[in-house]
Structure 1
């Protein structure tokens, strides 16, 4: 069952990557589809069809010893909601049908939280705290979605209220539910013990996740207090990162001995992206740079992809390999490294173009063509991973 659910999640990711490729092609040629609508479809399928369902799958696999049929049925109902969003968003954007499927997905997520909370089994307090924190952040994030309707009807889509509601949802999905979710599984595999260092790490992680919401709020409702709240949040985040390494370092070498070199490299890649993410957030303490990030979409897209493709997907890919779901062949290695190369090249290109806009220079020669060509490596890499999983005989332990 694990293999089948992972394949479905990866197929969602492949579809999201192909839609992202189409979005980048739209700057080179005409597409008979609304760019904004396709963006909505791309982001929803990537977040809710790939990351959400992969975390769903691994949470059930690792933390629910008595795997009741309810989890399987709920997975397919959630996938039905993802397919509904996939088929409706590109053609109508936010409208009756797409909102209905989005609402269904949220209701499924609520039931998922209830089930995990009820059936969760682990002797580790570390795992229990992180899993429950990630689920609570997922619940909290949906408050932003429920605020969208009142925000539009009362103030309109151009209002600060509407934009802040979106940022509220995205912030706690990415930095709360998704990020803490993969850390929970990673710490579970490393068998991190409860300690004073972990307690400090956990408290700082939670507080910093809440406080750093101040940065996107500041973009739409500027106030000096928000700058200082974000400063405190990022400072705590850096301390949490130091404690993160203090916790994992004693366990890494023992854990990596049991892994293939490719699996080890994927874990290290994800950790490196996590460090880079926090370093970039630290640069937002410079008010001028913070405003530049907001004004230049390249930086925003690059940062979102760093978190989504580098940190979160990096960890999820490593977990797939760690579970021996793939046949370790040259084609599989080609797929993984194609994805990483595509990620690195597109990130560097987007960052360089953002910098050129910042210093007042024009667009890089053949920028959109290069971005499109580099982006081909992403769905290519996912495709090779899917092919290798499909051809692998997986035996449950």
Structure 2
């Protein structure tokens, strides 16, 4: 992997983490920036600058054997779009300049999906199908973005149409594009071979991903049929989890256990978050619980961070260490530990505060200060990981 590409992704992640820290500080001290605008900046840089571009880099590294120069140029054009959003969203939110750069990023993703689909050389039908489904979900998710303009013009931002369009994009980005891509790279590194179990696993995962979209629709458009569709998806997710554990059990023992401690720990961390995510989504079949989610944003933020920081980022770090792109060191171990501490503390605080709100107990004493202090460990950990990588003289 080209060192500049990986370093750029890590810098984007650090910027997103620092923006998140500023958002936490807004509840402790004074913030001159528009909070909503800064939230848009944080989410776009994290999703499109870190996760998207890191998966982009890993896909090209592992599955495009020739003619990588085109993808390198596409990477930098996409990074230009990320920088455009970084320097426009804080000052204007969704407006002309930020929309231009957001559109540029979407168009770049279309080019990437088309070229990747065409040039893909996975040498494993299971990995190939996972990659193609991830790319398909990425493209399909953008339909939600294209619907935002008509939704605002016709019905306004408070409409169910507008809110469902946002949820559509987020659902199929997170649970489709990102999750399928991470599983594809994971199976590649674990050398998982096609079998009856993997075939059934993929089918279940696809159907579960589509049917569980019924849950966010329920929040804005109530219908009894949506409950049963989501219930079906929740059951299928549990079955998917059973097959997933069966598939990786032996490869994990034979490959990952032999790796260095930091690599093993990151894989266990990612897998634990994945299992927790699947279990929590299955609980949404309980109507009272699904309603609690939308009424208490702490739970929503906690779940998004579980997926983005725990599963996706946890595995992306694991992939970089496993491939020896980032080499072990004391600073690396400190960085991983700091990131883990920040993740666990913030997740616990968000969940605990959400429970306080649910039971009508108000705020935890010094909640916002504790959340701000806990959040410091996240950019600190990323900084140490980036420092370790920048000091390496060679890259693999």
The equivalences for 1:164-175 within 5 A come to 164-175=164-175
Partner of residue 225, structure 1: 225
Partner of residue 294, structure 2: 294
Q: Answer whether contact 1:325 1:392 (CA < 8 A) is retained.
A: no
Residue 258 of structure 1, CA deviation: 4.1
* Post-superposition CA distance 1:98-124 (Å, at most 9, x none): 000000000000000111111111220
The equivalences for 1:143-292 within 5 A come to 143-292=143-292
* Post-superposition CA distance 1:289-331 (Å, at most 9, x none): 1111110010000000000000000000101111212231221
Could you tell me how far apart the structure 1 residues matched to 2:126 and 2:325 are?
26
Q: Answer whether contact 2:237 2:282 (CA < 8 A) is retained.
A: no
Partner of residue 41, structure 1: 41
Could you tell me how far apart the structure 1 residues matched to 2:316 and 2:224 are?
38
Q: How many residues are matched?
A: 396
Could you tell me how far apart the structure 2 residues matched to 1:257 and 1:242 are?
21
TM-score (norm 1): 0.98
Could you tell me how far apart the structure 2 residues matched to 1:171 and 1:201 are?
20
Question: RMSD of aligned C-alpha atoms?
Answer: 0.9
Residue 257 of structure 1, CA deviation: 4.2
Structure 1, unmatched stretches of 5+, are none
Partner of residue 2, structure 1: 2
TM-score (norm 2): 0.99
The equivalences for 1:29-68 within 5 A come to 29-68=29-68
Q: Answer whether contact 1:214 1:230 (CA < 8 A) is retained.
A: yes
Could you tell me how far apart the structure 2 residues matched to 1:86 and 1:168 are?
23
Structure 1: 4+ residue segments shifted above 4 A: none
Could you tell me how far apart the structure 1 residues matched to 2:240 and 2:284 are?
18
Residue 286 of structure 1, CA deviation: 1.1
Partner of residue 83, structure 2: 83
- Aligned to 2:87, what secondary structure does the other structure show? helix
Could you tell me how far apart the structure 2 residues matched to 1:221 and 1:116 are?
36
Could you tell me how far apart the structure 1 residues matched to 2:195 and 2:320 are?
29
Structure 2, unmatched stretches of 5+, are none
Could you tell me how far apart the structure 2 residues matched to 1:168 and 1:329 are?
41
